[in-house]
Amino acid sequence: MPELHVASGKVREIYSVDDDRLLLVASDRISTFDVVLPTEIPDKGRVLTGLSGFWFARTEQIVPNHLLALREDGRSTECRLLEMLPIECVVRGYITGSGWKDYLANGAVCGHRLPEGLRESDKLPEPIFTPSTKAQTGHDENITRDQAAELVGRERFDEVELVAIALYRFASEHAEARGIILADTKFEFGLDENGTLVLADEAFTPDSSRFWPVDEYEPGHGQPSFDKQFVRDYCETLGWDKTYPGPELPHEVVAGTRARYVEAFERLTGISFDDYLADPEVVLR
Ligand code: Q0Z
């Protein structure tokens, strides 16, 4: 019965429940500029867990997922233990981040030739699948489609690309109609005991996707992030060198950031966050 701790991410923990189940626990820790800060954002882990649950429930018709149950604490997900694929599955609908850097250097991202004259943060003509390696430490590295196909097999690659783009189209349309651009997103997939492809980890959270407010969208430069912008702006006022340890956050920055997470949850789900706290499984219905 007691869950055993098996792994830590920057802001999440994994426990094993039994031979075929894991427990993913989302903490209230926040990272910025790749540094986990000493100050937590109350309920951040609950917002992210609720959003993942919401998207898992609504994308079952596209692909099965690992979710078994949301626990009463609102931050813990019981999930099926899978054999994870060794690639990060990124879909980009807008050109930003490492995609923008690769486009400037090569006119292409992961082997996708892109039109000339794109500006930073422009919408792409079609969403593109841009796989990356799973780095144990440091940053994931973009790889070509052929490198990814070598890692997972050609047929599996084709399936993952199709499913990832279908998921992105579905969620980004839903989100944009509610005032939030999902500029890009990262999925992790696994295989069940039958070799069936299963969506795992988290889905369309602000930690796995770039959320941009529609009403502030302006291509030509980097966009403010929906959730972390107060934290970044505050950190920029300090002259901090972005190495450990990061700064403590003042209460106004904590409160403003918490409010942004709750706002994203409520806009995307149409569910009041208080209702989620009272019964997390509301997001699954
Ligand atoms: C997810 C991660 C986290 C650190 C392994 N259903 C699954 N089956 C097997 N493995 C995983 C999953 Cl979700 C799995 N990660 C990413 C999550 C903390 C790393 F909460 N690693």
Residue ID of nearest Cα to ligand 1 atom 18: 9
Each of the 285 residues of the chain gets a pLDDT tens digit; together they read: 679 999 999 999 999 999 999 999 999 999 999 999 999 999 999 999 999 999 999 999 999 999 999 999 999 999 999 999 999 999 999 999 999 999 999 999 999 999 999 999 999 999 999 999 998 788 899 999 999 999 999 999 999 999 999 999 999 999 999 999 999 999 999 999 999 999 999 999 999 999 999 999 999 999 999 999 999 999 999 999 999 999 999 999 999 999 999 999 999 999 999 999 999 999 999
Instruction: Determine the pLDDT at residue 2.
Output: 75
Contact 70, 49 (CB under 8 A): yes
* Cis peptide leading into residue 245 (ω within 30°): yes
Contact 51, 201 (CB under 8 A): no
Residue ID of nearest Cα to ligand 1 atom 19: 9
Instruction: Determine the pLDDT at residue 135.
Output: 87
Contact 110, 145 (CB under 8 A): yes
CA distance 213 to 134: 29
Residue ID of nearest Cα to ligand 1 atom 16: 201
Helices (H) and strands (E) counted in the chain, each on its own, are 7, 16
Contact 98, 143 (CB under 8 A): no
14 CA distance to ligand 1 middle (Å): 7
CA distance 146 to 133: 13
Joined tokens for residue 177? 């109609």
Which of 94, 134, 97 lies closest to 114, judged by CA? Answer: 94
Instruction: Determine the pLDDT at residue 177.
Output: 98
Which is the closest atom of ligand 1 to the Cα of 66? 6
CA distance 90 to 168: 10
Which of 36, 39, 55, 280 lies closest to 166, judged by CA? Answer: 55
Instruction: Determine the pLDDT at residue 1.
Output: 65
With left for phi above 0 and alpha for psi between -120 and 50, is residue 76 left, alpha or beta? beta
Which is the closest atom of ligand 1 to the Cα of 201? 13
Contact 247, 238 (CB under 8 A): yes
Which is the closest atom of ligand 1 to the Cα of 24? 20
Amino acid sitting at position 281: E
CA distance 10 to 136: 12
CA distance 89 to 149: 12
Dihedral, CA of residue 214, residue 94, residue 58 and residue 187, to nearest 10:
-140
188 CA distance to ligand 1 middle (Å): 9
Cα 165 to chain centroid distance, Å, stands at 15
pTM of the shown model: 0.98
E runs forming strands in the chain: 4-8, 12-18, 21-26, 31-32, 35-36, 67-70, 76-80, 83-84, 87-94, 108-109, 112-113, 123-129, 132-133, 180-191, 197-200, 209-213
H/E stretch holding 47 reads helix 44-58
Name all residues whose Cβ lies below 6 A of ligand 1.
7, 9, 12-14, 22, 24, 66, 79-82, 84, 190, 200-201
Q: Is 252 exposed, middle or buried (0-12, 13-18, 19+ CB in 10 A)?
A: exposed
